[in-house]
Amino acid sequence: MTSTPDDVLVVDHLVRRFGDFTAVDDVSFRIAPGETYGLLGPNGAGKTTAISVIAGLLKADGGSVTIAGETMRPDAVSVKRHIGLVPQDLALYPDLSARENLVFFAKLYGLRGKELASRVDEVLETIGLADRAKDLSKEYSGGMKRRLNIGVGLLHRPTLLILDEPTVGVDPQSRNSILEAVEALSGEGMAVLYTTHYMEEAERLCDRIGIIDTGQLRAEGTRDELIRLTGGTDTIRLGGRVDTTGQEEAARSMRTLHGVERVDADRHSLSLTVHDAPTLVAEVVRMAAEAGMKLTDVEISRPDLESVFLHVTGKALRD
């Protein structure tokens, strides 16, 4: 792992054990300013334990966590000013309104007076709860509670925002709202550590992704870097009707295209294994038409993080 002095978070050979069980096993990664880093792994992979150590809730049994140049420990105080934690479980006071929850936590972050009032108003706008600010949080929907849960972590404009599975149990509309909020924060330059077991969230939000399983970081990189680990080939499937001669002619001409590795034919379709399917699909369709194929459908399949996870761990992400 290469880190730079500007890195917001440096996790170096982190180890955390519970008795004989090693929940986090020699995990290292870093996050640069403005970068969104995703920890992708199934339930029980060690994501929440890793985050608990990073946020200073648990002591590390080995390795270190450095945030904005300061070492994180459970008893450290000043380094915690750099982080905003959004825990997986809702961490709100149900008998307080959204505004009261935010004001309470803002005071604990050291905000006072006009700064506190204006920051609370800003956060209420950001999470879309300004019009329900006076309602008790226990009266909110699950999605609204999730948004308020995130809002608490934003109050002091942290250098590093840590989101632990923030969309678990949320309806699609609220989920999209949360993802948009995270994208906006990242766009403002905030470093984000985002854990999830939803690959589509990781693909949408994260600049870099760490694949974690059984406490170990199995692979790390950008989406494309991870895809390349699988061999990086796409599939184009052409469905339709054609006679045998035409099909053989089409397959022969397609194999001459740069980027096509293999062409398989069956009675009603052609299946091409290619590099970078989007740039080839138009030419492939033209060749099929010239060979007399009457196309009924064209389907492009690209490898995703699910494929990557399967490739590096030997099991499916949802297992």
Partner 1 sequence: MSTLLTLVAQGLRQGLRDKTVILFGFVVPLVLMFVFNLVFGDTDEREFEPLTVAVGAQAGDQMVGVVTDVLGDLDSETLDVTVVEVDPDESRAMVADGDAGLAIVFPDNFGGAAQMGTPTTVDVRRGEDAGVEADVVLSVVDGILQQFGDAATTARAGLAEGLDAEQLAQVAQASVEGAGYAIEEGQADDQQLSAGGALVAGQAGLFLLFTVSFGVTALLVERENGTLARLRSLPLPAWQITTAKALVSFLTGMLSTGVLLTAGGFLFGASFGSLIPVALLVASVAAAATSVMFLIARVARTSEQAGVATSIVSIVLGVGGGAFFPISAAGALAGVLDLNPVAALLRGLGITSAGGGVADIGVPVAIMLGFAVVMLLVSRLVPDRGAMA
Contacts with partner 1 by CB under 8 A lie at: 52, 55-57, 74-75, 77-78, 80-81, 83, 85, 87, 89-95, 104-105, 107-110, 152
Which CB sits closer to partner 1, 11 or 270?
11
Q: How far is the CB of 231 from partner 1 (least distance, A)?
A: 41
Which CB sits closer to partner 1, 144 or 238?
144
Dihedral sign, CA of 173, 198, 149, 193? Answer: negative
Which CB sits closer to partner 1, 72 or 242?
72
Distance CA(263)–CA(248), nearest Å, equals 10
Which CB sits closer to partner 1, 105 or 309?
105
Nearest CA among 209, 205, 213 for reference residue 223:
209
- Residues of 271-306 as b/e, b for ≥16 C-beta within 10 angstroms? bbebeebeebbeebeebbeebebeeeeeeeeebbbe
Q: How far is the CB of 55 from partner 1 (least distance, A)?
A: 5
Q: Which residues pair with 84 in a beta bridge?
A: 161
Q: How far is the CB of 312 from partner 1 (least distance, A)?
A: 31
Q: How far is the CB of 311 from partner 1 (least distance, A)?
A: 34
Residue 256 burial (10 A CB sphere; 0-12, 13-18, 19+): exposed
Residues 211 and 220: beta-carbon distance below 8 Å: yes
Q: How far is the CB of 42 from partner 1 (least distance, A)?
A: 22
Give the DSSP H or E segment for 122.
Answer: helix 113-126
Q: How far is the CB of 145 from partner 1 (least distance, A)?
A: 11
Which CB sits closer to partner 1, 55 or 280?
55
Which CB sits closer to partner 1, 75 or 188?
75
Q: If DSSP codes are grouped into helix, strand and coil, which group holds residue 283?
A: helix
Distance spanning both ends of the chain, measured CA to CA? 29
Which CB sits closer to partner 1, 151 or 303?
151
Here the contacts of 73-82 (C-beta below 8 Å, separation 24 or greater) are: 80/55, 80/56, 81/109, 81/110, 81/156, 81/158, 82/8, 82/158, 82/159, 82/160
Q: How far is the CB of 104 from partner 1 (least distance, A)?
A: 5
Q: How far is the CB of 98 from partner 1 (least distance, A)?
A: 15
Nearest CA among 203, 216, 227, 211 for reference residue 36:
203
Distance CA(227)–CA(208), nearest Å, equals 12
Give the DSSP H or E segment for 294.
Answer: strand 294-301
Residue with tokens 């194929």: 293
Which CB sits closer to partner 1, 86 or 284?
86
